[in-house]
Structure 1
């Protein structure tokens, strides 16, 4: 028995080792080194001098840092709950289909998710172009005239949110469909025999059993949207007038344009801690909501 246990432990260790090594080399070590550099005045490349908490104290007086925090919060509000609700509605509609139609429609919604961000942003930049954009007539119906949405401080963040939801929502739809398929059909049959309406079936059967998937989608979306960078960088560059300036864009500019590696690491560390704290709190609150 002892020899068999040792053999199983060796097999388990062999299987776990590649992940542990990869995690340590590509995540744990860079993270710890980033935290160390945040206490120095190091440039992007090379060593620096120890400055203690100076970089973090500097953040309190940095107007762009405060603005980027607000913009990140605004973007989270524009995307996390809306994309979850939209994905749930689409999944409920697709789940009513069957056979080839279900597969085809599901593929249509998932297709944008496999596109690289450069293609997505170029596609939407063309569709929303002020002179030739095919979506400008739709905007003109509400505003009375075409709008350069990515150069307008009031339109830029909502439109980047629309692009993000369109691009990433296919994955959320798949998660919800997987959750819906795990709900036993016998529960719906029993509810029908009891005379339950469609809304009662959803509120008493579907929603409670789908809550774990909903909590997962909300948590994943919160983490992803707090890390927004690619769409902002490619569509607006943080403008106009810094109205779409976000935390990762500040990290990029401080590190690669201003050569302030220590200060950029401090901003990145704050963002990392923010994501960890908010995502853990949200997940725990969602678990409490499920238990109640």
Structure 2
């Protein structure tokens, strides 16, 4: 006697009801997601897109921050590209970025490697101490380093004098003033970079390091051959964010030496600030802001393409 099996198909009504329930659940999730996204989108438009569009519109006018303004077309841009002060500020900004980003990167990398080492003692307390610069305002950072390198009252010159040497003119010498700015900028950016590196290092599988250790690889070789290459995505993010932040640096330098002595260390954002608010040339400063934004977009695009080419 043969047993026969019969397959029972679900009724059409049940299938339709299940599809409706799935669609209803999807709409509910989309609504919840939109509820969380909309406030961020509104703030983004309000504080980024809106001012950006307004700045772009002002860059084609002679707006001075008050009264009526006249449409000038590309005159602000032509005057900007003929201004030697603009090129000096832009060149100093690239110099500051080109020095600060690598110093901050390797400083954070070395500190992170020391803190995650198995033999490290008091790593938690050290992380809190090293993270302190990220908790304070850039203005406070500038004031701290201004006190440290003060010519007549600074700690650094006091230590130099205590060993019988001649105190240095940190505020009057343009090269020394730039050195102080680079040190302060590198110190301020190390904390956040350190946290990113530590998190990435702790996610590296220990089996890789244990296998290399069994093969006789020294700690330095394990770091150079295994840990550092695996930190490539984190390194890319740190370099990108560091480049953008350095190109936009303003508050720390303004509090430290105001771009001095004189105008010898004025960077792009300070140039924009002085032109727009001190000289009341809002339209001209807006044109400089648009150029800076375009430069940052190009840098971000190049770095992103470079990162993708490495991954491929």
Give TM class, smaller chain. over 0.9
2:244 is the counterpart of 1:244 = no
2:145 is the counterpart of 1:124 = yes
Instruction: Quote the residue 1:170 is aligned against.
Output: 191
1:19 to 40, 45, 48: 40
Would the alpha carbon gap of residues 30 and 143 (structure 1) be closer, same or farther in structure 2, given more than 3 Å must change? farther
Residue 236 of structure 1 deviates from its aligned partner by 1.9
Would the alpha carbon gap of residues 144 and 100 (structure 1) be closer, same or farther in structure 2, given more than 3 Å must change? closer
Does the Cα contact within 8 Å between 1:45 and 1:261 map onto a contact in 2?
no
TM-score (norm 1): 0.93
Instruction: Quote the residue 1:101 is aligned against.
Output: 122
Residue 141 of structure 1 deviates from its aligned partner by 9.6
Instruction: Quote the residue 2:205 is aligned against.
Output: 184
- Max Rg structure: 2
2:298 to 263, 271, 277: 277
Does the Cα contact within 8 Å between 1:78 and 1:158 map onto a contact in 2?
no
Secondary structure in 1 matching 2:175: coil
Residue 274 of structure 1 deviates from its aligned partner by 0.8
Instruction: Quote the residue 2:287 is aligned against.
Output: 266
Residue 139 of structure 1 deviates from its aligned partner by 5.3
1:84 to 105, 130, 145: 105
Q: Does 94-103 or 74-83 show the bigger shift? A: 94-103
Would the alpha carbon gap of residues 259 and 232 (structure 1) be closer, same or farther in structure 2, given more than 3 Å must change? same
Secondary structure in 2 matching 1:136: helix
Aligned partners of 2:160, 2:98: CA distance in 1, in Å? 22
Residue 131 of structure 1 deviates from its aligned partner by 1.9
Unaligned runs of 5+ in 2: 1-21
Residue 60 of structure 1 deviates from its aligned partner by 1.5
Does the Cα contact within 8 Å between 1:41 and 1:263 map onto a contact in 2?
yes
2:87 to 50, 63, 66: 66
Aligned partners of 2:251, 2:169: CA distance in 1, in Å? 20
Instruction: Quote the residue 1:110 is aligned against.
Output: 131
Q: Deviations over 1:41-71 (max 9, x none)?
A: 1112344211111100111211110110111
Secondary structure in 2 matching 1:255: helix
Secondary structure in 1 matching 2:190: helix
Aligned partners of 1:143, 1:263: CA distance in 2, in Å? 50
Residue 140 of structure 1 deviates from its aligned partner by 6.3
Secondary structure in 2 matching 1:272: helix
2:167 is the counterpart of 1:146 = yes
2:59 is the counterpart of 1:38 = yes
Q: Does 13-22 or 128-137 show the bigger shift? A: 128-137
Instruction: Quote the residue 1:234 is aligned against.
Output: 255
Aligned partners of 1:181, 1:21: CA distance in 2, in Å? 36
Q: Does 119-128 or 80-89 show the bigger shift? A: 119-128
Does the Cα contact within 8 Å between 1:84 and 1:218 map onto a contact in 2?
yes
Q: Deviations over 1:168-225 (max 9, x none)?
A: 2111111100010000111111112222232331232101211111111111100000
Aligned partners of 1:271, 1:289: CA distance in 2, in Å? 27
Residue 24 of structure 1 deviates from its aligned partner by 0.7
Secondary structure in 2 matching 1:237: coil
Residue 137 of structure 1 deviates from its aligned partner by 4.7
Aligned partners of 2:143, 2:72: CA distance in 1, in Å? 42
